């Protein structure tokens, strides 16, 4: 079993972290984030690092211990370097373009799909077949990427659709005559 929770999360220079009860607040060069930690876990500042410990020996407390530590680590990574998710678009005539505060996707439907870019997220389309999503909140970046991918998930026969960069699409053979 993993024991990632035992490892304290170091707070790098240029980042301020504070713990008030179950709330962890982190402020850095890219912005500020906060997170309310589960009640089964005790969180405290300790020698320039955030330390997470289970309150008791229940299965739930042990489960939330490592999860909470990783969530705090994601806050600190987010305000220092941020998170990025790349999507690749495959298919004839499939393309993406950013227009103002919207992402416009041509995905083979009778109409273009217009996705409003949420607050705190930056989307760029360096190529018509590539979409890069960046932000400081890892959960939000992943959620936006999943929503965009959901408009046209990759299909197994020709591989057409929107996929994550590096995602492997299991291909199927077509009908046999």
pLDDT digits 0-9 by tens, 66-115? 899 999 999 999 999 999 999 999 999 999 999 999 999 999 999 999 99
Q: Could you tell me if residue 38 is inside a domain?
A: yes
Q: What pLDDT, on the 0 to 100 scale, is given for residue 99? A: 93
Number of domains in the chain: 2
* Cα–Cα distance measured from residue 9 to residue 64, given in angstroms and rounded to the nearest whole number: 15
Give this prediction's pTM. Answer: 0.88
**Which of residues 46, 62, 80 is at a domain's end?**
80
Q: Closest by alpha carbon to 26, among 70, 79, 66, 81?
A: 79
- Domain membership of residue 75 as a residue range: 4-80
The pair of structure tokens assigned to 123 is: 């989307």
Domain end marker among 47, 80, 113? 80
* Whether residue 15 is found in the same domain as residue 39: yes
């Amino acid at each position: 079993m993993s024991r990632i929770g035992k490892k304290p999360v170091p707070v790098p220079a240029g980042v301020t972290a504070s713990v008030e009860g179950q709330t962890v607040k982190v402020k850095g060069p890219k912005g500020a984030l906060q997170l309310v930690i589960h009640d089964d876990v005790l969180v405290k500042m300790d020698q320039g690092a955030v330390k997470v410990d289970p309150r008791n020996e229940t299965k739930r407390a042990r489960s939330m211990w490592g999860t909470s530590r990783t969530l705090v680590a994601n806050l600190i990574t987010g305000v220092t370097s941020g998170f990025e998710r790349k999507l690749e678009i495959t298919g004839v005539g499939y393309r993406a373009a950013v227009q103002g505060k919207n992402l416009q996707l041509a995905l083979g439907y009778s109409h273009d799909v217009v996705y409003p870019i949420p607050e705190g997220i930056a989307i760029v389309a360096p190529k018509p077949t590539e979409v890069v999503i960046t932000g400081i909140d890892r959960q939000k970046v992943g959620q936006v990427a999943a929503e965009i991918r959901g408009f046209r998930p990759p299909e197994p026969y020709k591989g057409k659709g929107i996929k994550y960069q590096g995602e492997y699409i299991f291909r199927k053979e077509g009908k046999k005559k």
